[in-house]
Chain A
């Protein structure tokens, strides 16, 4: 692994990031690298800081110390000596380089499926209406919703909404896609269609950092799994190793044991 990262410098480089909400430390010196084309899954008990970490990567949350770099560029703070928050304009430009898909979809309710995808293309990427529409239709086709282009979110099922959410994120051609428990709010029978889309994006080489409770999916689709506990990275490794029953990490073993007990 260290060899690979020498040849191929990390696209996302999280170094010793810490963050506290008041007296509660949610991230403790978290370090994590994702190389181009990699799919990295973060697992861990709730409250372990997974979602916060993800939200720091596109600066929906600020962090107190450490650094997060995407393609060598510091996220959120200026690269001058003192730690200074970037301007809103800079932040917006940087966020356009990362895509994010949310647990609760968060589609814009007043826009159609195509409209949701077109908003960023037009306002951020400066595409014309026609160009944006073409791109939107392309991605709706990719997620199997070409026929729903003009439907409003309220007219779509949860699984369909989430697929639009994915299309909205990838249509911006982000360098990395952040997936935050994207199937947790879905009825079980709708989970498959969403994961299928993610799987096909992974096959296309999309770099992804995802938080999920779908262990089977994590095992099949990830290059590496990161286990977080109490705000820190407790274990990192290939899925087969991390999910093996005998892995030498007491917390991970008990997490997986509890997980299996409640899910199977």
Chain B
């Protein structure tokens, strides 16, 4: 009631938001890259392993998927260093956490993709004399990628948004920047409007780019 929007203070501190956005993207890209490696290795291992390995991998996935991300962030940043003798910055700690987190989700995506590759294609790979590694590399993974692309896009966008959790351990990403401006200017509505717009725009841009990639691959189906 009677609140007059005033964005001037926001623009004055916009470098906090811009720098925050860049850091959010950096956190997302690094964590997703590590998560992809974790996800691929564990998914390939899972589909070719015996029950013991499967149980362990499934345990990791279920643990991560059933614990809130914010709790994992606290556990790794505050909990781990008090138990074992290691020291790391908040940013490193968050990247480690989000990597493990994205890895768990990506194992599931890749695993279901690998299992969805038609048996006939693997037979065809065998029939021309490809070794198991060659079949994985040249037949199974390319088909898996094409199958999982839509699910991958969704996971990537989700993980980008999840970087906002880093603000709870003072990593100066976009949400943290917003909090800082809010505390220092009390323009709570303005700053969160601007930050929402920034998340939205970035998310849409990512989605658009990923859809382009998907379309390219779909044409190849």
Contacts and interface: CB of A to CB of B under 8 A. Distances in A.
11 contacts: A58-B126, A60-B127, A96-B129, A97-B129, A99-B128, A102-B123, A107-B124, A109-B121, A110-B142, A119-B138, A120-B130
B113 to A, nearest CB: 13
B128 A96 contact: yes
Interface in A103-119: 104, 106-110, 119
Nearest to B146: A110
B71 interface: no
A110 B129 contact: no
B66 interface: no
B25 interface: no
B131 interface: yes
Contacts of A20: none
B127 A92 contact: no
B51 interface: no
Contact of A98 (B127, B131, B134): B127
Nearest to B132: A88
A156 interface: no
Given A107-B124, A109-B146, A110-B146, A95 B132 contact: no
B128 A120 contact: yes
Contacts, number: 80
Contacts of A102: 120, 123-124, 127
A109 B221 CA distance: 6
Given A91-B126, A99-B127, A172-B128, 18 more contacts: A58-B126, A94-B129, A95-B129, A100-B127, A102-B123, A102-B127, A106-B120, A106-B121, A109-B121, A109-B220, A110-B143, A120-B129, A120-B130, A124-B128, A154-B221, A168-B124, A168-B128, A172-B129
Interface residues of A, number: 30
B124 A154 contact: no
Nearest to A123: B134
Given A110-B143, A123-B138, A92 B123 contact: no
A245 interface: no
Contacts of B127: 58, 60, 95, 98-100, 102, 169
Residue of B121, B129, B131 with highest tally of chain A CB at under 10 A: B129
Interface in A60-101: 60, 88-89, 91-100
B206 interface: no
A94 B128 CA distance: 10
Interface string A193-214: 0000000000000000000000
B188 interface: no
Interface in B176-221: 220-221
B139 interface: yes
A156 to B, nearest CB: 13
A243 interface: no
Interface string A148-177: 000010100000000000001100100000
